[in-house]
């Protein structure tokens, strides 16, 4: 049985290897076309031929040439551009010359690429005008509606933004259902959940916290976006003054399943929630823990990474290194790497990066010639750009984390000062808090009709994640301090 399984595995590996090796067809026709005089028509035919031979990044070079030279993209070539965007990413076209992009804004694919570029530059009005070209039945309409929603949010047109996000959810759901490729289905599922989260964010911004909480609750727990969204849900509970719920949601990050998701902001929210419940000792303890553990570790991480801040490859290499090697460097690195791997941007860019690598390897195997040399140079440059791009993405995530720890330590300091001021005020007023530390009770939990209650016994159950609530009583009630003199006067009056 064991030998049979091994045999099957061996055959599978061979089949996969053969499939990969022969995925690329020969490009003899391309060589012939290349010998012709350079015209837009030649570039068009070259782009199509290379695409059909599965040399997508090579095809990209001639496609861009062709688009720059002509005045109108024909419907057939529009389909190729669509497919090229799917295979190589929006980024491939969005950084073309602006005048070329502007010339072809009637094309939905080019409009998406330019809209993406304008959104990155925060030119929201222009982005909105560009993205309207993409109709709802188009392949890229889900992305377009999401970007439209974001642009409308930024210029405070919330009603329009809601409409865009609703469309985005509807389209992404339909595309998810008809996707035959698993990864593609997952992409649309993430897109759908992102638009749903955006709807909750609009309500939050407009201080409709009840509505916002309802929308956050609609995000399924299996969603890739769910762990990242929990902190926003905790903030919503905080704004609703349900500090026990806010603390409960934050504690979800302590579950083994979510141990990689460490966000410094959660510690600030935790400290703030305790502060609002007048549990100053707990709040101060959270601050102390933050300074002792997180800040020290982040400083160690900074010392480790700062030497490589100008490197264009170090961080990408780190992602490819075995996990047992990397986690020895710093306790946060593994967590950060897990978070980065879950980002859709990273997965898509990594696939494109590997595609360029494979394509280059295959080109190098082909017989040499002027076309091969040109394509190899082109792909080497593409690979360099993609490596720098991916490396920058990882580097930014890591340094953002370090900066966040530093930024939030200032916020923690503010809370600490505020607690000291509150304590001083109590002394001036000759008053004290009703208890030193509140104990939990079921009475202090606010829950809705459809919510059930179970005691937490140190175990994190998957179906309960995100639904926790503390049962702490607010300690904000004040009582007069009993001095020796007041006790004596009470006794005398008795």
Partner 1 sequence: MKNIIIIFVILISPNNVLCRDKKKKTNLIYKYKSYEKFDLGNLEIKGKVIAPGDLSVKDRARRTFSRDLFDRSDFNKEVIQEIKNLR
Output the six-digit token pair for 485.
């003199």
Output the six-digit token pair for 322.
């075995």
DSSP 26-68: P-HHHHHHHHS---HHHHHHHHHHHHHTT-HHHHHHHHHHHHH
Number of shown-chain residues binding partner 1 (CB under 8 A): 39
Asked whether 398 and 336 are in contact (CB, 8 A), the reply is: yes
Closer residue to partner 1 (CB): 238 or 262 = 238
Cβ–Cβ contacts within 10 Å for residue 195, how many? 24
CB of 314 to partner 1, least distance (A): 21
408 is an interface residue for partner 1 by CB under 8 A: yes
143 is an interface residue for partner 1 by CB under 8 A: yes
Output the six-digit token pair for 311.
């490197």
What element of type H or E holds 400? helix 370-428
Interface segment toward partner 1; rule CB under 8 A; list 29-37, 59-67, 304-312, 407-415 = 407-415
Output the six-digit token pair for 492.
């005398």
114 is an interface residue for partner 1 by CB under 8 A: no
415 is an interface residue for partner 1 by CB under 8 A: yes
Interface segment toward partner 1; rule CB under 8 A; list 69-77, 200-208, 371-379, 462-470 = 200-208
345 is an interface residue for partner 1 by CB under 8 A: yes
CB of 344 to partner 1, least distance (A): 5
Which parts of 69-98 interact with partner 1 (CB under 8 A)? 85-86, 89-90
Closer residue to partner 1 (CB): 33 or 268 = 268
Q: How many residues does the chain have?
A: 494
Tell how far CA 395 is from the center of its chain: 15
CB of 69 to partner 1, least distance (A): 27
Which parts of 217-246 interact with partner 1 (CB under 8 A)? 232, 235
| Sign of the alpha-carbon dihedral angle for 130, 136, 140, 142 | positive
Which parts of 424-453 interact with partner 1 (CB under 8 A)? 425, 428
> Could you give the CA distance from residue 388 to residue 411 in angstroms, rounded to a whole number?
34
> Could you give the CA distance from residue 7 to residue 5 in angstroms, rounded to a whole number?
5
Closer residue to partner 1 (CB): 34 or 408 = 408
411 is an interface residue for partner 1 by CB under 8 A: yes
Closer residue to partner 1 (CB): 300 or 350 = 350
Closer residue to partner 1 (CB): 49 or 143 = 143
Name all contacts of 241-246 with Cβ < 8 Å and 24+ positions apart: 241/276, 242/446, 242/469, 243/273, 243/274, 243/276, 243/277, 243/470, 243/472, 243/474, 244/277, 244/444, 244/445, 244/446, 244/469, 244/470, 244/471, 244/472, 245/446, 245/469, 245/470, 246/273
Q: Residues 194, 246, 252, 266: which binds partner 1 (CB under 8 A)?
A: 194
Interface segment toward partner 1; rule CB under 8 A; list 41-49, 57-65, 113-121, 452-460 = 113-121
Closer residue to partner 1 (CB): 147 or 250 = 147
Footprint on this chain of partner 1 (rule: CB under 8 A): 85-86, 89-90, 116, 119-120, 122, 143, 146-147, 150, 153-154, 187, 191, 194, 198, 201, 204-205, 232, 235, 268, 272, 275, 343-345, 348, 408, 411, 414-415, 417-418, 421, 425, 428
């Amino acid at each position: 049985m064991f030998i049979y399984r091994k045999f099957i595995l061996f055959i599978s590996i061979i089949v996969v290897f053969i499939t990969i090796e022969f995925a690329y067809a020969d490009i003899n026709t391309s060589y012939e076309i290349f010998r012709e005089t350079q015209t837009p028509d030649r570039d068009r035919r070259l782009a199509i031929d290379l695409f059909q031979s599965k040399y997508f990044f090579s095809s990209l070079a001639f496609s861009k040439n062709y688009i720059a030279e002509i005045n109108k993209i024909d419907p057939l070539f529009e389909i190729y551009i669509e497919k090229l965007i799917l295979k190589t990413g929006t980024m491939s076209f969005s950084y073309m010359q602006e005048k070329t992009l502007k010339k072809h804004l009637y094309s939905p694919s080019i409009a998406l690429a330019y809209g993406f570029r304008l959104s990155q530059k925060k030119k929201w009005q222009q982005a909105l005008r560009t993205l309207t070209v993409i109709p709802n039945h188009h392949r890229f309409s889900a992305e377009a509606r999401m970007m439209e929603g974001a642009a409308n949010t930024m210029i405070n047109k919330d009603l329009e933004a809601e409409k865009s996000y609703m469309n985005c959810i509807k389209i992404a759901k339909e595309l998810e259902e008809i996707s035959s490729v698993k990864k593609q289905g997952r992409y649309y599922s993430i897109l759908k959940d992102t638009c749903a989260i955006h709807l909750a964010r609009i309500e939050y911004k407009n201080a409709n916290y009840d509505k916002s909480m309802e929308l956050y609750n609609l995000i399924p727990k299996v969603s890739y976006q769910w762990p990242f969204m929990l902190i926003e849900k905790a903030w919503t509970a905080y704004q609703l003054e349900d500090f026990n719920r806010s603390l409960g949601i934050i504690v979800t990050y302590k579950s083994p399943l979510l141990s990689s998701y460490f966000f410094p902001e959660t510690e600030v929210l935790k400290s703030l929630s305790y502060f609002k419940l007048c549990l100053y000792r707990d709040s101060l303890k959270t601050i102390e823990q933050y300074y002792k553990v997180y800040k020290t570790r982040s400083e160690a991480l900074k010392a480790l990474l700062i030497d490589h801040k100008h490197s264009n490859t170090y961080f990408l290499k780190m992602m490819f290194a075995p996990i047992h090697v990397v986690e020895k460097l710093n306790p946060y690195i593994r967590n950060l790497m897990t978070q980065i791997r879950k980002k859709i941007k990273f997965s898509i860019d990594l696939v494109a990066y590997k595609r360029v690598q494979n394509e280059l390897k295959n080109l190098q195997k082909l017989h040499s010639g002027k076309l091969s040399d040109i394509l190899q140079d082109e792909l080497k440059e593409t690979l360099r750009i993609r490596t720098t791009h991916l490396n920058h993405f990882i580097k930014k995530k890591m340094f953002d984390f370090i900066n966040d720890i530093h930024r939030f330590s200032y916020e923690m300091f503010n809370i600490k000062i505020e607690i000291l001021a509150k304590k001083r005020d109590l002394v001036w007023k000759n008053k004290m808090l009703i208890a030193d530390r509140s104990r939990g009770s079921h009475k202090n939990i606010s829950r809705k009709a459809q919510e059930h209650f179970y005691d937490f016994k140190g175990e994190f159950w998957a179906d309960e994640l995100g639904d926790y609530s503390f049962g702490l009583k607010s300690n904000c009630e004040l009582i007069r301090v009993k001095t020796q003199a007041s006790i004596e006067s009470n006794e005398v009056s008795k």
